[in-house]
Homo-oligomer: A and B are copies of this chain.
Amino acid sequence: MPSIKKVAEIAGVSVGTVSHVITGSVNVSEPLRLKVQAAIRELNYHPNHVARSLKTSRTRTLGIIVPDMTISFFPQIIRGAETAARKRGYSIIAANSDDDGERQKELLSLMRSQCVEGILLVIAAAPTPQSQITRIMDADIPMVCLDRIPDRVSVDSVSVEDVDAAQMGVSHLIERGFRRIAIVTGPMSLRNERRRAQGYRQALEAAGIAVDESLIWHGTLHLDEVAALCRERLCNPKGRADAVFCTNGHNALGVLRGFRDCGLETPRDIGFVTFDELTVDDLFTPSITTIVQPAYEIGCRAGEILLDRIEGVATQEGSITVRLPATLKVRASSQR
């Protein structure tokens, strides 16, 4: 790997001059500039980011931690953040926490060591100790939380308008005539799950339907368990729910599996609405009504806020809170 010294030597100038033409910070005369550029090409020289970072204490790197990037919601977020970052000359390091608090802690620590200039975080479902987050912020590393917002910590955050979104989905089911609407949630340790459950309650109340606690099913994020949960509560036709509302797309696959296992067809036997596109919803037969989150935009906005903080553009004292609206895609599964 040729260094700036080598380039200077070949070009017959000093390293300072080479540095000047690379950074463009200082004017260099035409002839010298050309000689330097020629040398750079000849050597296939690539400035060493590591050395530059050490000198300038700017890595131009962002970190993003998501639970699992094989879940389609997260890559969309990452791509949004990547785009925002790239526009401003930053790159991104993405990593998976597997919803594990310990792993998340390791990653946070690793990213600090790697000197990322800011961190985008979708917290793990395992309760995240407040300290993990405050430690980062105490070290003056800007952080923006996405999708899942931690409790009791004041931190910039971007997510969907969870309550409204859930309410919209449930109200839609009610409008279509469903009355015994069950809800399948993820872990209640997550605030967005709680808020979605709240939206569910509000929708029922607004329609004058009493909330039946036996129709509130708290799931994990494991498909098998969610499927089993649904089987157990749906197999018996007596007093069965006439529709299910699911608070996240991952669990939705478990719910659908549960339907299938009970021989239930939607919407013939049971109505269904879920958060998140199931990748190919409109190809399902029958297709599934979904609450679509603007995942890409969530990533984008979060990235922008983070960059604004890093570059001192965002001067706001308190934490910035962005809540984006979701969209209801009405399809067959909610028609009776």
Seen from chain A, the residues whose Cβ lies within 8 Å of a Cβ on chain B are 1, 44, 46-51, 53-54, 59, 68-70, 72, 75-76, 78-79, 82, 91-96, 109-110, 112-115, 135, 138-139, 253, 256-257, 260, 278-280, 282-286
- By a CB distance below 8 angstroms, the chain B residues around A284 are 283-285
Within 8 Å CB of A91, what residues of B? 93, 95, 110, 114
Interchain CA distance A4-B286 in the complex, whole Å: 62
Contact A44 B139 (CB under 8 A): yes
Query: Complex formed: what's the CA distance from A109 to B41 in Å?
Result: 13
Is the beta-carbon distance between B279 and A256 smaller than 8 angstroms? no
Give the distance in Å from the alpha carbon of A280 to the alpha carbon of B253 in the complex.
7
The residue from B79, B92, B280 contacting A278, defined by CB atoms under 8 A apart:
B280
Question: Which 9 residue pairs across A and B have the least CB separation, nearest first?
Answer: A46-B112, A70-B75, A49-B113, A279-B279, A69-B75, A285-B285, A46-B113, A50-B53, A256-B283
Separation of A79 and B95 alpha carbons in the complex (Å): 9
Known: A49-B114, A283-B257. A78 touches B69 (CB 8 A): yes
Q: Give 11 A-B contacts (CB < 8 Å), ordered by A residue.
A: A50-B59, A69-B78, A69-B79, A70-B75, A72-B72, A72-B279, A91-B114, A93-B93, A253-B280, A256-B280, A284-B284
Known: A79-B69, A95-B91. A54 touches B44 (CB 8 A): no
The CA of A294 and the CA of B252, in the complex, are separated in Å by 24
Chain B residue nearest to A106 (CB atoms) is: B86
8 extra interchain contacts, Cβ-Cβ under 8 A, other than A1-B139, A49-B114, A91-B93?
Answer: A44-B139, A47-B113, A48-B113, A69-B79, A75-B75, A253-B280, A257-B282, A285-B286
CB distance from A147 to the nearest CB of B (A): 16
Residues in B whose Cβ lies below 8 Å from that of A79:
68-70, 96
Docked pose: A94 CA to B256 CA in angstroms = 32
Cα separation A92 to B70 with both chains bound (whole Å): 16
**Closest approach, in angstroms, between the C-beta of A20 and any C-beta of chain B?**
18
* Distance between Cα atoms of A113 and B61 in the complex (Å): 13
Residues of B within 8 A of A68 (CB): 79
- Assess the A115–B256 pair: CB atoms within 8 A: no
Taken together as a complex, chains A and B put the C-alpha atoms of A50 and B53 apart, in Å, by: 7
* Contact partners of A70 in chain B: CB under 8 A: 72, 75-76, 79
CA distance A124 to B123 in the complex (A): 32
Distance, CA A256 to CA B1, complexed state (A) = 50
Residues of B within 8 A of A256 (CB): 280, 283
CA distance A256 to B115 in the complex (A): 46
Closest partner residue, chain B, to A103 (CB atom): B86
B257 to A115, Cβ gap below 8 A?
no
Contact check, B96 vs A82: say whether CB atoms are below 8 A apart: yes
Q: Find chain B residues with CB under 8 A from A94 CB.
A: 94
